[in-house]
Structure 1
Amino acid sequence: MDLSEFEKDNSGSCRLVSAIPAACRSEECSLGIDEAGRGPVLGPMVYGTCFCPLSKQQQLEELKVADSKTLTEKEREKLFAKLDEAKDFIGWALQVLSPNVISTSMQQRTKYNLNALSHDAAIGLIQYTLDSGVRVKEVYVDTVGPAEKYEAKLKERFPGLEVTVRPKADSLFPIVSAASICAKVARDHAVQSWKFVEDLGDVNLDYGSGYPNDPKTKDWLENNVDPVFGYPQFVRFSWSTAQTILDSRAVPVHWDDEDEDGNKKDMPSVLSYFQRKTEDPKVQPHRFFTERKLVSLVNL
């Protein structure tokens, strides 16, 4: 799998796509969506979609696709090669979300959690497929959060599609299994060939699976934290695993607008400048204002 487009700037988000089969533009299709790398503290999260004509479902099943988590890395590579070779009736697209995008999204002032980020990635892939001329009829999605709410959200966004959201959809629907394989292979490649933009010197690259409960990952996080700069962008610094180490090993930061307990100091609201004065001010306003009957208002 060619990740060169993502590797040009692995601090952002990138979409990788296959060619669109002609059959997918002329026949009604099913589309599946799944992700890889939701839980790890290291590396990107990848959302994947696969689509193929309804008339080709049997051929898809004959490829013996399965939930990527039940397969070895070698098996996933072989199956992805088969999916990629079936260019006449199978297409795929990937949305690669870097650790930096995930962390900065989750820690921005306006709440944007991982579920919302995941939903938007899935919606973006469905919209891309439709915009590419694929005649999507059925959509199958592995759930993120309550399946009923997610399904209702997608049906509202895409009222012309038959949407099914289920837990463990990657083990129920072959088209979702295919999407799962594409996403997992892309994430594996991204993690294994990660290019650090930071000058880390002779850093140990044996960081394990990237999951918080992996002893190798824990050791790598403990040994590669900088007391001032924290972690490279390979790490999701919004994860509690990384945050705990930063709190104990890195230099603390105190913001001027917070008190010792981390609470914001009492500061007047901007709205206070628009409130009507209930008492006569000690200093009378200039006659320019009184002659024109200009006063302060509560609301504009």
Structure 2
Amino acid sequence: MRVCGIDEAGRGSMVGPLVVAGVVSDESKLDTIIKMGVKDSKLLDAESRERLYGEIIKTLEYHVEVIPPDQVDGAVIWHDLNKLEATHMAIIAKKLGAETTHVDSCDVNEERFGKTISEMSGGLKINSKHHADALYPVVSAASIVAKVTRDREVAKLGISGSGYPSDESSVEYLRNYYSKHKQMPSFARKKWDPVMRIVTSFCQQTLD
């Protein structure tokens, strides 16, 4: 039986794409993934992620969806970010065609999220769990593929820091960019609250 794992990277970032990745393995070969040393990508340093990424894509079938910032913005406007993620997870699940697919749920309601993906994928068996990247090695592998893919995309942008709101160097980069150009860069998620707050702060200064 084939087992698939799907996870995302970049959901909370102010810049760059949202990346969703899936990895599939025969159930009898899951030990191979475990022996690689895979775990939730957030628990690995960049060097370890890159090494494991190379092993994963050489050993396992995988598929990656890269969702650009403007599509993420559109989902935010319509309060459909979970639906956007579910849509791309369904695409991956159909593409990889496993008997069971484990997904890392972004919805507070795991069952609802899994049901949505199942319906979108034509009735595939979806197991939706919070922290699935820590529960299922095949999802851990997917999280690594998603994270490395996104990190490489963000590296092309030439920004300071990670791009997340908690990273002051990234916030400062966007402040300086807006101050100089009077608009946000094309790769910024312009409808994201932290980005909008930066714009609002400059507008307020103008009014003052």
The letter of the residue matching 1:124 is: I
Q: Is the 8 A contact 1:226 1:250 kept in 2?
A: no
Higher helix proportion (structure 1 or 2): 2
Residue 18 of structure 2 is aligned with which of 40, 45, 50?
45
The letter of the residue matching 1:178 is: A
Q: What is the aligned partner in structure 2 of residue 139 from structure 1?
A: 101
TM-score for both structures, normalised by structure 1? 0.63
Size of the aligned set, in residue pairs, is 203
How big is each residue's C-alpha offset from its partner over 1:48-89, in whole Å with a ceiling of 9 and x where there is no partner?
A: 000011121122221111110000000000001111221xxx
Gaps of 5+ in 2: none
Residue 135 of structure 2 is aligned with which of 172, 183, 206?
172
Give how far 1:206 is off.
4.6
- SS of the equivalent of 1:46 reads strand
The letter of the residue matching 1:137 is: E
Give how far 1:156 is off.
3.7
Q: What is the aligned partner in structure 1 of residue 63 from structure 2?
A: 93
TM-score for both structures, normalised by structure 2? 0.90
- SS of the equivalent of 1:39 reads coil
Query: Could you say which structure has the larger radius of gyration?
Result: 1
Give how far 1:183 is off.
0.2
Question: Which aligned pairs between 1:45-194 and structure 2 lie closer than 5 A?
Answer: 45-86=18-59, 90-107=60-77, 111-130=78-97, 136-145=98-107, 146-158=109-121, 161-194=124-157
- SS of the equivalent of 2:84 reads helix
Q: Is the 8 A contact 2:91 2:121 kept in 1?
A: no
How big is each residue's C-alpha offset from its partner over 1:231-274, in whole Å with a ceiling of 9 and x where there is no partner?
A: 111110011111122223259xxxxxxxxxxxxxxxxxxxxxxx
Give how far 1:210 is off.
0.7
Percent identity, aligned pairs only? 31
| 1: CA distance, partners of 2:118 / 2:73 | 29
Q: Which has the higher contact order (CA 8 A, sep 6+)?
A: 2
For the aligned residue pairs, the C-alpha RMSD in angstroms reads: 1.9
- SS of the equivalent of 2:103 reads strand
